[in-house]
Amino acid sequence: MKKTIAIVAGGDSSEYGVSLRSAEGIMSFMDHEKYDCFVVVMHGAEWYVQYKDTTCPIDKNDFSFVAEDGRHTFDFAYITIHGTPGEDGILQGYFDLIGMPYSTSGVLVEALTFNKFALNNYLRAYPELHISDSLLIRKGEVLPSVESMVERVGLPCFVKPNAGGSSFGVTKVKEADELVAAIEKAMCESDEGMVEREMVGTEITCGCYRKGEEIVTFPITEVVTTQEFFDYDAKYNGKVEEITPARIAEETARRVSETTRRIYQVLDCYGIIRIDYILSGEKGNEEINLLEINTTPGMTVTSFIPQQVRAASLDIKDVLSDIIEGKLN
């Protein structure tokens, strides 16, 4: 008998539209001979499922819905919300309460990885991980002087929301007098902002997931953009060259893959994650600098993960099935 899968999308961040596109991608990737799949859209208190030619409200008591042909329940939730509540532990806590298995890491991991500053400071305990210096700005608190911030992280630097993705609210600051405006922009996306030292080098990204007891890493993608950085325009409007596998030394690729597996293991992740890095220094002997961890990465047809899965000669359908069956069996 087929299992019924909820592909959970939407959310309450600026990435709402991106999430819906990821849901379309996941729907196309799923093994429909094994699973009946339906998109569940969440936006604030409004939760509904796209069922046949209509929409039906979700009963939040047990994540079921009623249609003309009766009550329906789900066996598994594949979460593809980018941002709150699907990437910060809130939705995971709800699913834990009602006993619904889901595709991502648990509450603690999701909450930690969504808070960039907290994550960076947690991972500093591992000396093999190189992490850029940064300072945290909280809404409502007295802003440090521009001079002290520049002295701490230098120029250029990056200002970004402490929670969020798709580069919403991110600014590359080149001059000191741009810093306050950049912080205000970041605060439009989050109650906290980060001012971070710039890391110069080659940007790469590496995806991985757990298959049974094995942590499987995908081929690495090199990110080349004509923009100042890999911003929303570059990510979603084609102003980027994504090269998979990346043009890096074999030994460097091995070290990046091993670092990715190490972080996945240390955090006790589940499902597909994607880790972004900056490689700096001499080619073939680069320093691997952690940039960001994405626990619900984009899953459109042209996103990094589907590209990397194809480059690994794997079938994305099988990868998704591994994730689902890993929680159902």
Domains and CATH numbers, the chain: 3-103 (3.40.50.20), 111-130+200-328 (3.30.470.20), 133-197 (3.30.1490.20)
Alpha carbons 296 and 103: distance in angstroms, whole number: 9
pLDDT digits (tens, 9 = 90+) for 13-35: 888 999 999 999 999 999 999 99
Q: Look at residue 12 and tell me whether its pLDDT is greater than 80.
A: yes
141-186: per-residue pLDDT in tens? 999 999 999 999 999 999 999 886 556 788 999 999 999 999 999 8
Which positions ≥6 away from 258 have C-beta within 8 Å?
A: none
Based on its alpha-carbon atoms, the radius of gyration of the chain, rounded to whole angstroms, reads 20
d(CA 146, CA 173): 12
Q: Judge whether residue 258 has pLDDT over 90.
A: yes
Per-residue pLDDT of 56-91, as tens digits, reads 999 999 999 999 999 999 999 999 999 999 999 999
Residue 209 structure tokens: 């997931």
Tell whether the model's pLDDT for residue 109 goes beyond 70. yes
To 10 degrees, the CA torsion angle through 321, 323, 326, 328?
-70
pLDDT at res. 323: 98
| Torsion angle defined by CA atoms of residues 18, 19, 21 and 26, in that order, rounded to the nearest 10 degrees | 140
Q: Report how far residue 101's alpha carbon sits from residue 325's, in angstroms, rounded to the nearest whole number.
A: 10
